[in-house]
Amino acid sequence: MMRSVSLLLTVLLIMASMAVWAGEKEGKTCLNVKGMTCGHCVDRVKTALEKVEGVKTADVQLKEGHADVRTIKQVKFESLAKAVHEAGFEASSTETCVEKKDKK
């Protein structure tokens, strides 16, 4: 009897951890950001994006007017756009991600 209870608990524990894992998927969201003119703008956008819950890092590129946002869980585009808007810029959704070029 005790054996089957502990087996059941183990199965439940595995199922629970799988559910958490599925919901907390790491990902990447890419945005076009309009209105950035200098390094300070980049910093403001980066800081604003990195304050959004679930965001790990934001890689903002001035020249491309672009931001690659790495997330530790699902983050809605709307949450990111709102943060950018509050920082004084406008973000739009894009499927295209600009990979950061290695500086040598």
CA distances from 22 to 16, 41, 46, 57, 77 (A): 10, 35, 27, 20, 19
Choose between 31 and 41: whose C-beta lies nearer to Cu ion: 41
Which position among 3, 40, 103, 104 is part of the footprint of Cu ion (CB under 5 A)? 40
Residue 37 interacts with Cu ion (CB under 5 A): yes or no: yes
CB 75 within 8 A of CB 52: yes
CB of 16 to Cu ion, least distance (A): 46
Q: Quote the least distance from Cβ 38 to Cu ion, whole Å.
A: 3
Q: Output the six-digit token pair for 70.
A: 């790495």
User: Binding residues for Cu ion, per CB under 5 A?
Assistant: 37-38, 40-41
